Amino acid sequence: MLTVAITVKLIAEIALLALFGQGLLGLMMSGENCNRNPFYALLQLLGRPWLRAARWLSPRVVLERHVPLAAFFLLLLVWGAASWIKVSICLQIGVALCK
């Protein structure tokens, strides 16, 4: 169970950093320049499944431009839950076994 919690936490961290990096690059670069940047395309590829999941989970009232923010907060919630589960498991089995 500890391995599952660590894996979910790691996947959420990678996705959070990809969405954050994509947003940061989107702010720094404008319009067409973003789509031609290979690093932006890689971050977009990493974040696309989470954007689809957020679009599927969110009501239709949510605008399309707000879906990345919804995905970010959804992943933040998943990361927090995985961290909480990891800490509770480590407290049950002992901190020395979690290293």
pLDDT in tens, 71-92: 999 999 999 999 999 999 999 9
Q: Are 14 and 46 in contact (CB under 8 A)?
A: yes
Q: Stretch 33-59: mean pLDDT, rounded? A: 89
pLDDT at 15 over 70: yes
Residues above pLDDT 90, as percent of the chain: 60
Q: Is the dihedral of CA 72, 15, 95, 93 positive or negative?
A: positive
Q: CB-side exposure of 47: number of CA atoms within 13 Å?
A: 24
- Given a cut of 70, whether residue 31 has pLDDT beyond it is no
The predicted structure's pLDDT at residue 62: 83
Query: What is the total residue count of the chain?
Result: 99
| CB 68 within 8 Å of CB 23 | yes
